[in-house]
Amino acid sequence: MKLAYTILSNEDEVRITIPNKHIVGEIIHNSSVNSIVESVVGISYSSNPELPVAVIKTAIESVAEVSNDRAPQVGIDEFADSSINIGMRYWVPTTAMLQTRYKVNMAVVKALAENNIEIPFPQRDVQIIDQPQA
């Protein structure tokens, strides 16, 4: 922080210069060491959700870069049109947030496949009703 401006640096080492007049009196979130990653993966309605939740939590914990300070949070997030959406929240080093997220996503996909848990694609049923001609 300088007299007239503040310099921030993101994980890609891009320097961001912000005039202090835009910061004074505002709420600032300082994520410091760890940042939270929130994500969702859908499972089939034919799946028992307890198994995928356990499998996903284990997959997240298997990635070394995920913080051990707080346990990952995994559970049913929403009942969507084509899937039960499982929400995931976990903490990672701010300096490697996206890289770690990609590793976790790969671990989750592999773990679900190994346990024969289907990630469904969106589906729509279309019915054509024959209208009598006048």
Q: Over 80: is that where the pLDDT of 113 sits?
A: yes
Q: Over 90: is that where the pLDDT of 6 sits?
A: no
Q: Note the pTM of the prediction, 2 decimals.
A: 0.73
User: What is the mean predicted confidence (pLDDT) over 39-50?
Assistant: 95
| H-assigned helices in the chain | 50-62, 97-114
Q: Which of 5-14, 95-104, 117-126 has the lowest mean pLDDT?
A: 5-14
**The pLDDT value given to residue 92:** 94
Q: Over 80: is that where the pLDDT of 83 sits?
A: yes
User: What is the mean predicted confidence (pLDDT) over 16-38?
Assistant: 79
Q: Which residue has the higher pLDDT, 55 or 132?
A: 55
**The pLDDT value given to residue 133:** 79
Span 34-114: which CATH code? 3.30.70.100
b/e per residue, 32-50, with b = 16+ CB within 10 A? eebbebebebbbeeebeee
* Rounded Cα–Cα distance for residues 111 and 72 (Å): 16
* Cα–Cα distances in angstroms (integers) from residue 17 to residues 4, 22, 23, 106, 119, in the given order: 10, 11, 11, 35, 42
Tell me the domain boundaries of the chain: 1-30, 34-114
Q: Which residue has the higher pLDDT, 91 or 14?
A: 91
